[in-house]
Structure formats: C-alpha cells, structure tokens
Amino acid sequence: MTIRTALIPVLTAVLMASPVVAAESAKETCGYQADVVAAIQQARLDRVKERDLSDVLITDETSWPENYNAAIPLIAPWIYDQKMKVIRNEDLGAVWNEQCLAQSQ
C-alpha cells in the first residue's frame, strides 16, 4: 500500500518548523508522526467520527509531544478516506514511519 507521498514531506516540514521538533532526530519525529497515525487509525476502528477526532485524541493521554496534535487534522482525512478493510488489515503507523524515514534521508 502506498501513502500519498506528497503529504509526508509537507507534514514533516510543518512539524520541523517548531523549535522543539527541530532538536529532535528524524527517527524521533517520524516515530511521533507514526504514533499520531496509529492513534487516528485506532480511533477510526473505534468508530470515532472524524469531526470529533481532535477532541477525543487530545483528551486522551498521548505518546507524542503536544505540538504533534497539529498534525491530527492534516492526517485524519487520509485515514478516514481509506476503506475499512485497509484500516483493519494494515498498520498505517508502520507504513507512515517507513515512508517518513525514507523522505528524511
């Protein structure tokens, strides 16, 4: 399965603009992005409505720094556009991490 590769560099650039993220390595940044993707995927599996997604994920205890919450509305449409078969059977977080690391080299 392929990810819209144009989305990854844009998101990475947006997140890297933050001074906190600039000090992080590409591995850490991609890992946090992958965590966001995995959380959105799980929310979709849990039937959270896209319009409620940010509120639900932000109120939950997250494994990523707060500035990565800005990525939720950017990534959510891509995940919510996927068929449920993909959501149930693919690890989108792992795919995102792999593509992100490839982009940052």
The mean pLDDT of the chain is 84
Q: pTM for the complete prediction?
A: 0.78
Q: Where are the alpha helices (DSSP H) in the chain?
A: 7-16, 19-22, 26-45, 53-59, 72-81, 84-89, 92-103
Q: Are 35 and 92 in contact (CB under 8 A)?
A: no
Structural domain includes residue 23: no
Q: pLDDT (tens digit, 9 = 90+) per residue, 27-66?
A: 999 999 999 999 999 999 999 999 999 999 988 788 899 9
Enclosing domain of residue 49: 7-12+28-103
Whether the per-residue pLDDT at 21 is higher than 80: the answer is no
Q: Do 79 and 87 contact (CB within 8 A), yes or no?
A: yes
Percent of all residues in the chain with a pLDDT value above 70, rounded to a whole number: 77
Asked, for residue 61, whether it belongs to a domain, the answer is yes
98 occurs within a structural domain: yes
Contacts of 54 (CB under 8 A, 6+ apart): 69, 72, 73, 76
Number of domains in the chain: 1
Confirm whether 72 is domain-assigned.
yes
Beta-carbon count within 10 A of 91 CB? 14
